[in-house]
Amino acid sequence: MAEVLHLFLLLLLHWGSFVIVSGGAADDAAALKSTVDGAFTATLSLLSAEKVNTPNTTDVPATGFTASYGTSTTPRPLAEDTDKAADRAVPRKVEEEGPVELAVRFSRSLKVTQKPKTIPKRSRVLTKKPRVVKKSKLQVKKRVSLSVATETVPQCPPLGLESLKVKDGQLRASSYKRRGLGPHRSRLNIQSGIEDGDIYDGAWCAQHKDEQQWLEVDARRLTRFTGVILQGRNSIWRWDLVHTYKVQFSNDSLVWKPSMNGTEEAVYEGNQDTETPVLALFNTSTVARYIRINPQTWYQNGTEGDICLRAEVLGCTLPDPNNIYPWQTEPTESKDKLDFRHHNYKEMRKLMKLVHEACPDITRIYSIGKSYTGLKLYVMEISDNPGKHELGEPEFRYVAGMHGNEVLGRELLLNLMQYMCQEYKRGDQRIVHLVKETRIHLLPSMNPDGYEMAFKKGSELAGWALGRYSYEGIDMNHNFADLNSVMWTAIELETDRSKLINHYFPIPEQYTSEEAFVASETRAVINWMQNIPFVLGANLHGGELVVTYPYDMTRDWAPREHTPTPDESFFRWLATSYASTNQVMSNPDRRPCHNKDFLRYNNIINGADWHIVPGSMNDFSYLHTNCFEVTVELSCDKFPHASELPIEWENNRESLLVYMEQVHRGIKGVVRDKDTEAGIADAIIKVDDIDHHIRSVADGDYWRLLNPGEYQVTASAEGYFPSTRTCQVMYEHYPTLCDFRLTKMPKQRLKEILAKGGKLPKDLQLRLRQLRLRKLRVTTKTINQRRAAATRRAKRV
């Protein structure tokens, strides 16, 4: 027997060290520590191992795992065999609070097998009382998907194929049809280009059509894999998807162990359509470095069907004992103590209330309306004097959640209000200055109905479109009044350009009628825009990494064309201020999200040069109000996992603050009546060489966003003489004061005095006498000229 064992150990050294730890019920850290130390306590004799191993796993060597930091090669049987008794003895703790990140359901195995034989219990394996063991067995039976008892697998986060955390170099495939269908395109929810056959296609597609094709993911370190999410190919021309597939694991990418369903290799259900993500949780979790997805059946339209898929892998990365210093590991948390998780409607409302209670002097919660189902659109106001517009203080807004499934903006705004409250109380001068000099409005969820739909599915399972639209099926990003067409039509028809307007375009009557197909949420936001004199804002979206600026619509409805506003240079500055301070956008080594490389444009682009969006909020805001607004696409992943929220906050925190500070660029001032010093509302502020005006608000104050430079600015109002002055904008982060005092026209003054029943002052009486004399002289001269002309005609006759 000793000679047989000696020969067995020699064979193990020849094959190399390899182990795959299966059975997630055992503690991961303890399993890894035992692997590193090279001392496996659970060992079997050679004969016992032969009896336990099933026929499907005999080709996988059950040798010890030798890392670069260990030297032991002591053989250890698969944890799938040794740990099941301990799994039954220690029931798992299931979290009951928080959002459903992934729907906990099992994809049924297609091969229905008999229950595996029960492994005899060994001494000193069970550490719990018999009563606990019995209870554990009952809990397992409740989670049986078929006739095979399955292990209760705790949720692990995605590795990051969709969020680009997994790099292209970590993805391999057995074959691929062309570069645009390579393994780097196998990411969940990746979107294809419009042209079929370009380098940005919508999936990985194998070159060959057989059961030997595979997609491989390298986690780069030991990971406890718990499941796979699969999707078909995104294409407007093709219908390709995988119906069933197998999964294998490896530690060296050479020797592979299949995922098992009892005693047979498990086959998992794939997709029935190309867009709905399908989750498959493994019967037993498996610790390994590599994972392969091996399609077995796929949609075949005669000879046209291809093996194509998009995927996400679920796994918990185990700690690496080699990385003993914090700087050796990638940061996964934020230094800010914020509530990093997904908040549904009730949790969002509760969090906003907690922020208000923590900072009641600088915050106010108010509602601007309701969604179709009656959920209120809550806004958090942050100001040193909440609830009141202060003279000379600009109004700023962030709007998130226009598309309900693009959830990152919602969570960032909730984090932002927490952060500003904490830092204000701590005395951070940057935040204190923002709060005292700006009135900030944060609308975290413009489409709460859509969010609730996506939230119920959870991260990774909501797909690309679920929750995007309102409850009525309206895309709010196309739901504002199309004032671009109104403006361009007027330009084409009007021959006298002096009669054209370039701002405050009225909303068409057909849009304001009750029969108009306008979402209740859109109407509420428009009313909000009209009631508060916003100066600057941003609309937070998801699904890409880019900042877009107006116009969002082309003049002739071309598919895409650069269509600038008169304020093109300042809009480019606004977009750059966010993109250049965002840690992901500014990374020159990052890969494109889907089908367009925005790095070539410095991560900013004119909206119409990307794709046309008639009725966008950005264009409406620019043409109907004083507010300048851009759209920020925050991440490739529309619904990132909760574990990724701390890093996303770190990526966007500085950008959110820097962009808010841009509201103080340009000029500001008050337009007053020269005689009464009262503010003049609706005074038009015109900047030479920029064909877009703004207006003063109720108290006469105004804000005109401008880049540094010298400008000729004219203020005019009905019944007043216009006034022009030179205003110079500096590079400092504060606006240039440029006040105006307008003199009333005599006619206007006379109307106002007579309307009040007052007595005319002497200067006005003198002015009126002069006007009467001038008018008399003009009329007398005209009469004399007519008489002279009549006399000349009479003489000729």
Catalytic residues: 633
Distance CA(755)–CA(597), nearest Å, equals 65
CB burial of 513-534 (b: ≥16 within 10 Å; e: otherwise) equals eeeeebbbbbbbbbebbeebbb
Distance CA(258)–CA(586), nearest Å, equals 41
Distance CA(615)–CA(514), nearest Å, equals 18
Query: What are the angstrom distances between the C-alpha of 382 and each of 160, 253, 421, 496, 656?
Result: 35, 54, 9, 46, 14
Structure-block tokens of residue 426: 């701590």
Distance CA(434)–CA(118), nearest Å, equals 66
Strand (E) positions, 620-773?
628-633, 667-673, 684-687, 694-695, 701-704, 709-716, 723-729, 736-737, 740-742
Sequential DSSP letters for 381-441:
EE-SSTTSPPTT--EEEEEE-SSTT--HHHHHHHHHHHHHHHHHHHT-HHHHHHHHH-EEE
What percentage of the chain's residues is helix, strand, coil (to nearest 5)? Answer: 30, 20, 50
DSSP 553: S
Distance from the Cα of residue 701 to its chain's centroid:
35
The letter for the amino acid at 266 is A
Q: Among 26, 49, 40, 502, which residue's Cα sits nearest to residue 287?
A: 26
CA gyration radius, the chain: 35
Q: Among 194, 195, 169, which residue's Cα sits nearest to residue 182?
A: 169
Omega cis (within 30) before 290:
no
Run of H or E residues at 348: helix 345-358
Structure-block tokens of residue 146: 């078929």
Contact 231, 275 (CB under 8 A): yes
**Partners of 288 in beta bridges:** 223
